[in-house]
Amino acid sequence: MSSSSYTFSFDEKQTEKLKEILLQRGFDISPLNHGLFRATTQGVVIQAYKTGKILVQGKEALEFAQGVIEPEILGKVSIGYEEVLHPEYFEAHAGIDECGKGDLFGPLVVAAVFVDKQSARFLIDAGIKDSKRIKSDRRLFQLAMEVKKKTLYGFFSLSPLQYNDLYEKKFKNLNLLLAWAHAKAYQRLLQVQSDCHKVVCDRFAHPWVLKQSFEKIGMQDALEQMTKAESDPAVAAASILARAVFLEELSKLGKEIGFSLPRGASSKTVEQARQIYLNKGKEALRKVAKMHFKTIQKILSETSR
């Protein structure tokens, strides 16, 4: 039997109850760095964090989750019942998600993933979830490989140079550019999976923003926008692929320019952008950074005085 992984969110009382149960069942309990405790027994490893996150792993993780956590702590069943609780996850459809829109450096990457009943089941069992919940890059790339093995997918990626040109000369608005890129990614998917008449994505702006982009490609009837769309396995898989491609391309850009390129838009990232501008100039910065960010504009205005 292969190792499995399940994540739960507990309040303080539920965490205390879990610890009592683990002690009663003879688990070895030890301190956990940056967490509450780690409990182990043959076939199961449990890590409890201060945030309330409970991670259950091991060859017997499923049995423990279904036999102990669900009935004794949560009082409900969900694992293994996804097809009953969310039958829409198992219908043939695509999911779309993006990475890079909030990162000062790097490309904008949109991925579209097609699933059917069989591949949706595989993704759920493999632990596919929103990439924002995956803290390890190594784990992210492992999951991306699993997605690629079991699904059909399409990418649309804009380098910072392409992104800057489109933003400045055509869209002048991030959501309009993002909606256009979503439609492009869906078209890429249709090249390998033409029989895809439903696509789910996160509602990142007013619904008409994305709808108008899909209308332009004649696929507005296929579009389904929803909040927290990453709960859908196809969307979660798309988020993983998009992030994996983003990280690969970010690394390449850093090597090309000779500077490390941090993720996000922190003060450290802004300072690196300032150093690139001072050492290599504006055109070099355009090749790696999204120029419409206010912090970039501030750098340009400060250094031009």
**148-174 mean pLDDT:** 96
Q: Where does CATH 3.30.420.10 sit in the chain?
A: 90-250
Q: Are 193 and 152 in contact (CB under 8 A)?
A: yes
Count of Cβ atoms closer than 10 Å to residue 131 Cβ: 23
Mean pLDDT rounded to a whole number for the chain: 90
Q: Quick check: 305 pLDDT over 80?
A: no
- How much is the pLDDT for 135? 80
**Could you tell me the two tokens for 236?**
């979660």
Which residues does the annotation place in the binding site for a divalent metal cation? 97-98, 202
**169-183 mean pLDDT:** 96
CATH for 90-250 is: 3.30.420.10
pLDDT digits (tens, 9 = 90+) for 41-88: 999 999 999 988 889 999 888 889 888 888 888 887 665 545 545 688
**Could you tell me the two tokens for 15?**
């965490």
Q: How confident is the model at residue 304 (pLDDT cuts 50, 70, 90)?
A: low
- How much is the pLDDT for 124? 80
Q: What is the dihedral of CA 262, 267, 272, 276, to 10 degrees?
A: 130
- How much is the pLDDT for 262? 96
**Could you tell me the two tokens for 248?**
């690969």
Place of tokens 């993933």: 113
| Alpha carbon distance 272, 122 (integer Å) | 41
- How much is the pLDDT for 1? 43
Provide the pairing of β-strand 223-226 with 4-9. Answer: unpaired
Which residues does the annotation place in the binding site? 97-98, 202
Q: How confident is the model at residue 301 (pLDDT cuts 50, 70, 90)?
A: confident
**CA separation (Å) from 139 to 13, 63, 95, 144?**
30, 23, 21, 9
- How much is the pLDDT for 251? 97
**182-191 mean pLDDT:** 96
| Alpha carbon distance 96, 156 (integer Å) | 11
Between 186 and 4, name the one with better pLDDT.
186
pLDDT digits (tens, 9 = 90+) for 107-137: 999 999 999 989 988 888 787 887 887 888 9
The 3 state secondary structure assigned to the chain is: CCCEEEEEECCHHHHHHHHHHHHHCCCEEECCCCCCEEEEECCEEEEECCCCEEEEEECCHHHHHHHHHHHHHHCCCCCCCHHHHCHHHHCCEEEEEEECCCCCECCEEEEEEEECHHHHHHHHHCCCCCHHHCCCHHHHHHHHHHHHHHCEEEEEEECHHHHHHHHHHHHCCHHHHHHHHHHHHHHHHHCCCCCCCCEEEECCCCHHHHHHHHHHCCCHHHEEEECCHHHCHHHHHHHHHHHHHHHHHHHHHHHHHCCCCCCCCCHHHHHHHHHHHHHHCHHHHHCCECCCCHHHHHHHHHHCC
Percentage above 90 pLDDT, the chain: 67
pTM above 0.85, yes or no: no
Pick the CATH number of 4-79 from 3.40.50.1980, 3.20.20.60, 3.40.50.360, 3.30.310.10: 3.30.310.10
- Range ranked top by mean pLDDT from 1-15, 81-95, 193-207: 193-207
pLDDT digits (tens, 9 = 90+) for 216-272: 999 989 999 988 888 899 999 999 999 999 999 999 999 999 999 999 999 999 999
